[in-house]
């Protein structure tokens, strides 16, 4: 399970990853939680097969870390990496989420 290093994270990839309503909502929930979450608990209403694709897009772009533990998968927002590389970007997403209704 590959994760880009902090320096490999590409802004265009990050924007493409977050530029989807379900993935934007995942980012907002992980930002609000501030900690690692069990992947099944983040958006319980969305089918697992749909989420699997979203986890991959978010991971490969460097937005999240995935950590398998037994048969479970844990997800964490790469907040420090993103804040260091693209200051203010996550804040915009979180702020905008509190303005607009959730999908």
Footprint of a copy of itself (CB under 8 A)? 10-21, 24, 86-89, 92-93, 96, 100
Comparison of 36 and 97: residue with beta carbon closer to a copy of itself: 97
User: Residue 70 Cβ, how far from a copy of itself at the closest point, in Å?
Assistant: 34
List all residues 6 or more positions away from 74 whose beta carbon is below 8 Å from its beta carbon. Answer: 36, 37, 38, 39, 66, 67, 68
Q: Which residues pair with 66 in a beta bridge?
A: 75
Comparison of 14 and 51: residue with beta carbon closer to a copy of itself: 14
Q: Which residues pair with 68 in a beta bridge?
A: 73
Comparison of 11 and 32: residue with beta carbon closer to a copy of itself: 11
């Amino acid at each position: 399970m590959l994760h880009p290093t902090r320096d490999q994270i590409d802004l265009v990839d990050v924007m493409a990853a977050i530029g989807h309503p379900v993935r934007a909502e995942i980012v907002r929930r992980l930002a609000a939680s501030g900690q690692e979450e069990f992947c099944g608990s983040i958006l319980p209403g969305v089918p697992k097969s749909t989420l699997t694709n979203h986890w991959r897009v978010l991971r490969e772009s460097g937005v999240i870390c995935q950590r398998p533990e037994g048969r479970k998968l844990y997800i964490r927002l790469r907040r420090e990496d993103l804040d260091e590389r693209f200051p203010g970007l996550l804040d915009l997403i979180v702020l905008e989420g509190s303005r607009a209704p959730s999908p």
